[in-house]
Structure 1
Amino acid sequence: MADLNNRKIRAYGLAVGKLPTGSKNDITDVAGVRVGHVTIDRPLDSGQGEYACTGVTAILPHGGSLFREKVTAASYVLNGFGKTTGLVQVNELGVLESPIMLTNTFSVPAVTQGTLQYMLAGHEEIGDTTGTINIVVGECNDSHLNSIRQCVVTPEDAIEAIRKASDEQVEEGAVGAGKGMVAFGYKGGIGSSSRVVQVEEDKSYTVGVIVLSNFGRKEDLRIDYLKSGAQALQEPADGSIIIVLATDAPVSDRQLLRLAKRTGIGLGRTGSHFGHGSGDIVIAFSTAHKISHQSTGLTETRTQLREDHPVMNELFAACAEATEEAIYNSLSQAVTTTGRKGNTIHALEFPAQS
């Protein structure tokens, strides 16, 4: 696989924070995590300049059965102008039992249906000899570049994104669910980053973040010298972002909630103020424990970090740093894109490395 680091912000001599990154500097540095994309980029036969500029992204916490081996999870809403599925049950039970799916606003039903079909096909017990399943889908509005009313995403696209998921380096920018997204008036989309927290000489924990960036105006961007680059969209928009946080640290769902809140610090550092019409939503999970769906035991025993250990502060910092850098990577990895009615969003011009 080609090296996808050539347009990450670190290729331009820019770095965020003090903690080291993982080897790929993305969410798949958390062992077992997989990411897959389906990108849709084609004109529609309407004669009205309609264009499909959208897609689906799948994030899988591990490569086994997520229903039979759930992971600890939590979600946090920074601002709730969003149309997600599944977060009520995630927060109630503290577990995730499906892939996390990302797409555009009007495609949440189709992606939910496709993900459900995929999970039912591999689990004959769901809805028969055991309970139902909780599908998690997040979205952002890509209607500037995508003819969103045409609802071109199908359940089969969701299934394909899941099947394509791998633990290789994550493709970023104008791909998958990020194909039609805009951030700070420039081309946004998928971005990812990771941090490694060293605990002892032979023990470390990894935090990985993947974002779907679709928020902010040019004047909000806090890296001032970048604003003199390519032409930016000037239309005011609150926009949205979905942040998916993964870690292998042994934390409870309550501790995951605390970690999820710290991603908002990284988001704010880029220039976001969580606007009125912005859907800023965090979905977090830990791969440290696999929770069996079937168990006859009355109790279960888990290991989790002490709340007052200094490692918690390091994990908080890792969440903020990885989120900020993931957002910048979504900008630096994107390419100028033309979509519906000839609308064009330019890629942000990063400075050449000196």
Structure 2
Amino acid sequence: MAGRSIGLKFTGNPGKYNAITDVPGVEVGYTTIIEGEGELEVGKGPIRTGVTAVLPRGKQNELKPIWAGTYALNGNGEMTGTHWINDGGYFLSPICITNTHAIGTAHQATVRWMIEQYKEQYHNQHLWSMPVIAETYDGILNDINGLHIKEEHVLNALNSAKSGEIAEGNVGGGTGMICYEFKGGTGTSSRKITMDGKEYHIGTLVQANYGKRDWLQIMGVPVGKHLKEEKLHNPDDKEMGSIIVVIGTDLPMLPHQLKRLAKRAAIGISRTGSPGGNSSGDIFLAFSTANEMGILHTNDVTLNMDFINDEHFDMIYEQTVHAIDESVVNAMIAAESMTTLKPSGKVIEAINHEQLIDILKQYNRL
């Protein structure tokens, strides 16, 4: 509720928690590590990093397909497991988001968690794990080369995942992130929609670490052009960052439809001004918790799935874009300022709420 809590009026009707956890069954957990101050000493810190875990079907006792689609607007980043999602149309694992150099650790820990969580299936069947692990770079604010993320941190994020209200800003994988040269991080939002008399939910979660200050727009206002003070000097004037977007829904959708939905995340992240910078990894995943069934390895020859008619997708796309836009803003609103390690001793400021509100009032947005 970060942006709405200071009076920002976003388009659309959010769910109870205005979070991806408004999608029934979805759980989110964090491990946040903030330790040490002072000069960077590789291997010792300071440490400002973490892990975000999204469990699309919660902690069920049985593996079930999670129908999905992916899209990479700009591929300067990583999200594992996407080859099979693009071919098979589903995945079986949690989603973990962390820093760039922790991909391998998070992958192995998630495999370990899955083998333990679904012990009977892994013991009795020839199953393998291809977890979905994504990353963005936090090396300006965190001792990223110290490799401080351990398996225990990933397991803690997975085991602590819950439904309901979740934190935003400097939490989980978003702890050390920068967005439009303000402090960034983890943001989330949701929308409720009614189709054919039934209520559905669309939830989004971002790890926002992208954008240049001059690009920043909030609610259509060129905020970045007004808030140029306390900006970290960027001698090359290049974007240095990425964004991961996770879209969850209980709408029944086929994998090709979810891929189309994932593409709309490009429009969602552009609402705050980004054209998709060359150095940015802008990678998106959309999943549906509908059409619940057992794993396909042991299922029937012929299967049936419900799905929304493509001709009724305009509202779905629109509300997804609104939720992503709000998620990015929420990440910045909830974030707290943090000192830099590279270069040393500077500060990445959180966006000033009062200044932001004053600017939006000048443009009659509040």
Q: CA deviation at 1:237?
A: 2.4
1:305 has 2:299 as partner? no
Range that drifts further, 100-109 or 57-66: 57-66
Other structure's SS at 1:68 match: coil
Q: CA deviation at 1:265?
A: 0.8
CA distance in structure 2 between the aligned counterparts of 1:219 and 1:127, rounded to whole angstroms? 54
Q: Do the aligned partners of 2:41 and 2:143 also contact (CA within 8 Å) in 1? A: no
Q: CA deviation at 1:133?
A: 1.2
Aligned twin of 1:16: 10
Q: Do the aligned partners of 1:66 and 1:96 also contact (CA within 8 Å) in 2? A: no
The change in CA–CA distance for 1:344 and 1:44 in structure 2 (over 3 A counts) is closer
- Cα deviations by residue, 1:146-199 (Å, 9 ceiling, x for unpaired): 011000000111100001100021200011101100000000000001111122
CA distance in structure 2 between the aligned counterparts of 1:339 and 1:229, rounded to whole angstroms? 18
Aligned twin of 1:145: 141
Q: 2:68 is aligned with what amino acid?
A: A
Of 280, 283, 286, which aligns to 1:281?
283
CA distance in structure 2 between the aligned counterparts of 1:266 and 1:85, rounded to whole angstroms? 22
1:232 has 2:227 as partner? no
Is there any run of 5+ residues in structure 2 with no aligned partner, and where?
359-365
The change in CA–CA distance for 1:108 and 1:67 in structure 2 (over 3 A counts) is farther
Tell me the TM-score normalised to structure 1 length. Answer: 0.91
Alignment: residue pair count? 344
Aligned twin of 1:320: 321
CA distance in structure 1 between the aligned counterparts of 2:98 and 2:48, rounded to whole angstroms? 11
CA distance in structure 1 between the aligned counterparts of 2:271 and 2:58, rounded to whole angstroms? 33
- Cα deviations by residue, 1:269-291 (Å, 9 ceiling, x for unpaired): 11111111110000110011223
Q: CA deviation at 1:127?
A: 7.7
5 Å-filtered alignment, 1:157-172, equals 157-172=153-168
Aligned twin of 1:51: 46
Q: 1:220 is aligned with what amino acid?
A: W
Aligned twin of 1:253: 255
Aligned twin of 2:363: none
Of 56, 65, 71, which aligns to 2:66?
71
Of 33, 37, 42, which aligns to 2:30?
37
5 Å-filtered alignment, 1:70-219, equals 70-124=65-119, 125-126=121-122, 129-200=125-196, 202-219=197-214
Q: 2:292 is aligned with what amino acid?
A: K
Q: Taking every aligned residue pair, what percent have the same amino acid on both sides?
A: 33
Other structure's SS at 1:288 match: coil
Other structure's SS at 2:292 match: strand
Other structure's SS at 1:289 match: coil
Is there any run of 5+ residues in structure 1 with no aligned partner, and where?
none
- Cα deviations by residue, 1:73-107 (Å, 9 ceiling, x for unpaired): 11111100012211111111111200000000000
Tell me the TM-score normalised to structure 2 length. Answer: 0.89
Q: Do the aligned partners of 1:218 and 1:234 also contact (CA within 8 Å) in 2? A: no
Query: Higher strand fraction: Structure 1 or Structure 2?
Result: 1
- Alpha-carbon RMSD across the aligned residues, in angstroms, is 2.1
